Structure 1
Amino acid sequence: MSPVVVLVGPPGAGKSTVAEDLAARLGLAFRDTDADVEARAGVPVSEIFIDHGEAHFRALEEEAVATALAEHDGVLALGGGAVLSDATRALLAGHRVVFLDVGLAAGVSRVGMNGNRPLLLGNVRSQMKGLMDRRRPLYDEVARFTIVTDDLAPSQVVDQVLRLVEEDR
């Protein structure tokens, strides 16, 4: 068993929104590994960061991704930092991974001052730029396809993902 498609990308790229819409259009289940981590921990991701730190969250995330890749056969959205794990990147090999890319201006605009994104507290633009600079090579490494979402509505991104999935069968 394996997901039909796995979406990766930075905060603000639209992973969860696109994954949910894509799953509905395909008649498949949607799964988000951040939600899996929250369900297992019983608290929001932001509280895990505050109470236990990023390393603890990343360990939970790595486990959630491995479980989802092994048992989910629908559409899977990974948390933005999941690709930081060597083990996760290795597990993604062979999966149909779509990198939803977003430019700095569009990403900052979409994320705004969302307090639920603990790595973007403070100067959101500066934090987002640093995060994207570090992660972009990792997204590129795991992705079979890339879609730049800056000027696209979620439905347009879904259309592009559907086209790529059909061409890749």
Structure 2
Amino acid sequence: MGCGKSTVGRRVAELAAAPYFDLDQMLEDSTGLTVGTYFARHGEAAFRALEARLLPEVLQPGAVTSLGGGTPVPEANWRLLQERARTVYLAAPLVVLLARAGSQATRPLLLGRSRQELEQLWRARLPRYEAAQGRVDAARPVEEVAEEVLALWDS
């Protein structure tokens, strides 16, 4: 959350003339609800289950896909990502991520959580993020990040 995955993903897809998929957008399109509304009505477990069901649809050869921050955490999702995708961790310090994430109203995982709880969540996910095949410093302008991601993809 806040690393720029959707913005960077769209730009990488443009630069590569590749199809682009956003898992959160696909979830919204399939349910008719925003991620925040879906989360509020059905809870995180239902959200993660739906996310896992939709994941295979967005992992298409040659496509660029943006995933939610929790998507790679479940082992089954991680195995699928390793089998069908090149993974890139858009890394940024927590303070940058929180500043970019903005309004709590649109970010369900921010609702009612203290800074300490958010840091614990981030640290819990870090080992999975750091296991990605590539890592890019995302605390830079989008164009620079997108070009570096594309360079990793082309290598």
Is 1:37 the counterpart of 2:27 in the alignment?
yes
- Separation in structure 1 between the aligned mates of residue 33 and residue 100 of structure 2, nearest angstrom: 24
Question: Which AA in structure 2 matches 1:155?
Answer: E
1:126 shift after superposition? 2.9
Match of 1:87 among 62, 76, 83: 76
RMSD (Å), alpha carbons? 1.5
Aligned pairs (5 A) from 1:59-138: 59-69=49-59, 71=60, 73-94=62-83, 95-123=85-113, 125-138=115-128
Indicate the residue corresponding to 1:164 in structure 2: 152
Aligned to 1:4: none
Which segment is superposed worse, 52-61 or 109-118? 109-118
Q: Gaps (5+ residues) in structure 2?
A: none
Q: TM-score, normalised by structure 2?
A: 0.92
Aligned to 1:3: none
Q: Secondary structure at the match of 2:30?
A: helix
TM-score, structure 1 normalization? 0.85
Partner Cα separation in structure 2 for residue 121 and residue 115 of structure 1 = 7
Equivalent position amino acid for 1:153 in 2: P
**Equivalent in the alignment of 1:26:** 16
How far residue 164 of structure 1 moved from its aligned partner, in angstroms, is: 1.2
